[in-house]
Structure 1
Amino acid sequence: MSAPDTQESKDATQYRPCVGVMLINGEGQAFVGKRIDTKEGDWWQMPQGGVDEGEDVREAVYRELYEETGIAREHVEILGQTENELFYDLPPELHGKLWGGKYRGQRQTWYCARFTGSDDDVNLEAHTHPEFSDWRWVDRASLPELIIPFKKPVYRTVVEEFREF
């Protein structure tokens, strides 16, 4: 299996800037949500989303976590981030269909964060347009097997880089 591309090998302007969060609970398990808009497959993913123009990347982490999970920043302690941005390309059948056709994929900065709240602090309907229909805590080693195939190399790198936490 190949590793995800890094900024040295890609034109960053062709990739949507994004953050991702490996949110881990007290047992060391990672949060995953089942996307509402996935029609095929049983794919689960960690919270992630675009960075708004001019937005601080760390602020984007807190915003995305709240929008996708309802988890407020006071229940999140950031532990670290990936060494480099990680890139993935959309599969050919999705080219031109997402993000107004502006990007060929995403460039992601991933953060590892500890969840200090309780499961009652999760509210998938906190945002006007929920992204997840369900959620659960999973063993971190299983993350690459839960994600849609074209994102697997990114998830393998994230799991490896955050193994110390």
Structure 2
Amino acid sequence: MAALSVSGFAEGGFRFVGFLPAKAGARAAALRELADERAALVFYEAPHRIAECVADMEQAFGGARELLIAREMTKLHEQIVRLPLAHTAAWFAADANRLRGEFVLVVEGAPAGEAVDAHALRVLELLLSELPVKGAARLAAEITGAPRKALYALALERKGADSPPA
């Protein structure tokens, strides 16, 4: 409850998920099921799986969703940080000690009216492999009925993540 309280995400309620499955495929499937949840999502995670878990969260929820990482709650080395999912890999990579301890993760709920379901996201990813951003977003919206603006924003984010740093 302490992590949820400091997250600022609980205005639309919350859903306690607990530990996700340890196997990558099952974890990714569980996260896809939660992608459209409008309530804040609360997870526990072990240090040896934290990096893979937040990477899977970014894939399932998109990089723009906010994540609160609460590490070592109520202990000497307690650390709380809130950042977009797209920035979590860099945050963990900046200091190896950040991968230690017990974790509570709180993910911001899906925005109202802008949620893109897992099917629309998969269609968008397939189209992005063959088409420019604008065309991929337009076709994905036409095929799935998802909001074109939301798909376009996700397409820009995905293309930006795939581009090599300059």
Q: Report the TM-score when normalising by structure 2.
A: 0.25
Q: Write 1 or 2 for the structure with the bigger share of helix.
A: 2
RCO comparison, higher one (Cα < 8 Å, 6+):
1
Q: Write 1 or 2 for the structure with the bigger share of strand.
A: 1
